[in-house]
Amino acid sequence: MSNDLLQLAMTAEQFKGLYNYWIVIFLMMTGFFIVISRKNMIKTVIGLNIFQTSVFLLYITMGKVNNGTAPILRPEDAHHDDHSHDHADEADHASQIFLDQIADHTPAQNVSAGSEPAIALEALAETGTNDVIYSNPLPSVLMLTAIVVGIATTALALALIVRIREDYGTIEEDEILILDRES
Amino acid sequence: MIYIDIIILTLLAVTAVTVARIRDLWAAVMFTGIYSFLGASWMLLLDAPDVAFTEAAVGAGISTVLLLVTLALTSKTEKTSTSVPFVPLLVVIGTGAALIYGTLDMPHFGDPSAPVHTHPNPGFVERSQPDMHGLPNVVTAVLASYRGYDTLGETAVIFTAGIGVLLILRREKKSANTDDSTTEGTA
């Protein structure tokens, strides 16, 4: 009985941790369905767009960290770095501190949480400092590129559709196939 | 906070299904714009404001305009077919089930120890400060500096696509002698 209850709790926790992926997969599959089931070419492009946006959402949702904020560093940190002359050395030193931290889990002093979300959370728990946790910036960067490339392919596909309409007088796939067979 | 998430995700799912069901292409394009906007809203909640801005501008803005221009040059209604698409439905359900089975091993939402947060050494966040002379936005720093060549390649892709659109639509001008200034503007 208690075992059943434990399993139920596990699934509830799993649901809370994974529902975002499931929604994204649902959106992805809706886009996929539009692409493979609709014969109208504009509708196909719309389906591709929906699929694309759901992939963006999949990446972005992986970059989120609990209690995190957007990866824009606080003015205090930026100001602090402006003062020093040998920036690179200092940064290397800082990242070395993080590596040490990963190694032996000792919270270092004057360390900004932004550089390591996972460690930052531990540091927060152990030292109680009010450092900021930043979400992962890398998925954002990748998806910015993907969005722009996506609009380029969409524009090209729509131009092709306009040309097909010029030549065939229709943008329905089956009608175009019939016209092709007749000619 | 989680309630906003749930509302937005539900609206996203409803909008996507509406796009799939609706036959009027003009309405479908409008719903695509709504879908992009809802996606951008969720991205904002997921701490990715840069992507949210781009998605709102490109996905809900430019993409909708391009689709509307194409609708104006082609036809506005989709031909209705009577057959129920059983095969696509089966393919989609199968693929979806496989993907959901795959998510069971994924790190949970917001988990700070997920591999995606630990594996490229996150020291670059700190290092981007001196590297980019105090630029506070890490996303911009990575995009413009560490991945600068990639962004250059992206510009090349846009350029190529623009040339492609122009070339595809230019032939129309020669043969039919119609004014394609509206379509050229979309490139």
On chain A, the residues whose CB falls within 8 A of the CB of B176 are 166
pLDDT at residue A147, rounded to an integer: 92
**What pLDDT digit, counting tens, does each position of B102-116 carry?**
888 888 887 888 888
On chain B, the residues whose CB falls within 8 A of the CB of A60 are 42-43, 46, 48, 51
**CB contact residues (below 8 A), chain A span 17-36, against chain B:** 17-23, 25-34, 36
Band the pLDDT of B169: cuts 50, 70, 90. Answer: confident
Collapsing DSSP to helix, strand or coil, A4 comes out as helix
In chain A, where the domains are located: 1-64+140-183, 74-135
pLDDT at residue A173, rounded to an integer: 84
* Short-list A120, A46, A54, A40, CA closest to B68: A46
Q: Residue B36: closest CA among chain A residues belongs to which residue?
A: A53
Distance from CA of A2 to the nearest CA of B (A): 23
**What pLDDT digit, counting tens, does each position of B15-45 carry?**
999 998 888 889 999 999 999 999 999 999 8
Q: Does A112 touch chain B (CB under 8 A)?
A: yes
Instruction: Give the range among A137-151, B61-75, B173-187 with minimum mean pLDDT.
Output: B173-187
Query: Alpha-carbon distance B124 to B101, whole Å?
Result: 34
Best mutation target, A56, A168, A172, A174, to test chain B (most B CBs within 10 A)? A56
* Residue position matching structure tokens 């939402």: B109
Tell me yes or no: is domain A1-64+140-183 CATH 1.10.3720.10: no
The string of DSSP codes covering B70-135 is HHHHS-SBPPP--S--HHHHHHHHHHHHHHHHHHTTSPPTT-TTSHHHHSS-THHHHHHHHHTTS-
On chain A, the residues whose CB falls within 8 A of the CB of B20 are 30, 33-34, 47
> Mean pLDDT across chain A, nearest whole number?
74
Distance from CA of A1 to the nearest CA of B (A): 24
Q: Residue B102, CB half-sphere, CA atoms under 13 Å: how many?
A: 8
Residues paired with residue A69 on neighbouring β-strands, in sequence order: A134
Cα four-point dihedral sign A153, B86, A28, B72: positive
Instruction: Give the range among A138-147, B1-10, B175-184 with minimum mean pLDDT.
Output: B175-184
Query: Alpha-carbon distance A172 to B71, whole Å?
Result: 13
